[in-house]
Structure 1
Amino acid sequence: MTEQPSPEDPGPPDSWQELDDLYAVRPPWEIGRPQPALLDLARSGAIRGRVLDVGCGTGEHALMCAGLGLDVTGIDLAATALRAAEDKARGRGATVRFLHHDARRLTDLGERFDTVLDSGLFHLLAPDDRPAFTSGLREILRRDGRYFMLCFSDREPESGRRGPHRLSRDDITETFEDALRIDAIEPATIEITLDEVGIRAWRVAMTRV
């Protein structure tokens, strides 16, 4: 029997259709507000222009950007999460476009963006899927556009269960060095609903040059 991801340590799914199953109940990374590491960027003015939120989930970061008056698109493959995001947008009177779309096929959007946000998407990608993502990312970002990523760090202990890929600084550098300029890789925390400590993470800032 294939081991299933536990609520404590979800992902990567065996197939991307399993993403919907992760939203059958509230997953631990859905904290009902933006992750502080990304909220800090919004408050600093680092997020600007047309924004794409990849793996947007139930839309907290897309809605955060809409609150700044920005043009925002959120994409995800979990239809359940997207419905929740649309409900939130209606309830808050916010204008955000949410699309059912595969982040490994970004160029199929046929659009360009100034900022791309990624809260927990990249660390779900299998190594074989990373080149398609990074190539697409470079294509859709305008020159001087920024990519901000929040991902599991290799400083987070392995739990013994199947979980998101723990990424080292070298993993990040080797994956993105031919696509984007890496500006900063900083220790951060991914807050979760299960405990107050959260997950050790990296907040990464990159620029399309």
Structure 2
Amino acid sequence: MTKVVRSLADLKPLARELSAARLAAEIERERRAAAARLAEQEKRVFELSVGPVTPLRRVDRVLHARERPAPEPRQREADERAVLLQALSDEIDIDTLLDTDETLSFRRDGIAAEVVRKLRRGHWALQAQLDLHGLRRDAAREALGLFIHDSARRGLRCVRVVHGKGHGSPGREPVLKGRVRRWLVQKNEVLAFVQARASDGGAGALMVLLAGSP
């Protein structure tokens, strides 16, 4: 409903309302202008600090599929271990294969006696060692088969097998000593072996010469 002005007295409140509205609008304009100036100043400060800024061009990303790790031949390795375990018998008679010297050394057919003497004197540098201490028969047999197979595959020539002197065995008998000799004779990679020198383990170890040596 329109307000009717009846006298000059009625104009005074209206004037006051219009003046207050103009003042509020002016204050709001000043507030917005001040906020815009502050934003511009902050922008200039950033540009002066880091230099001109160029927006990066958007490039489509390409996601490459991750390569899957190569499958592990676990079944083949298990089969190889089984073959090595089965191939080494405890029943083979090697008495006729050992040279009847004080250490019962071994050399395969075609290997000269001089090779055994060189092996005993340490002619070839020791390249690897297997210690069978504390292993039971089947574990020792498997470990020895894998050790000889792996050493030959790597091209090693002279290795040492420590079977112990039997001091910790029942009756103080060297349980593994005879078995290790039987197992080594059955490995085609083995050309010869001799009891180690005292400094290399003596009666508790064997120096083994592998195929590929002169």
Give the TM-score normalised by the residue count of structure 1. 0.31
Which has more helix, going by share of residues?
A: 2
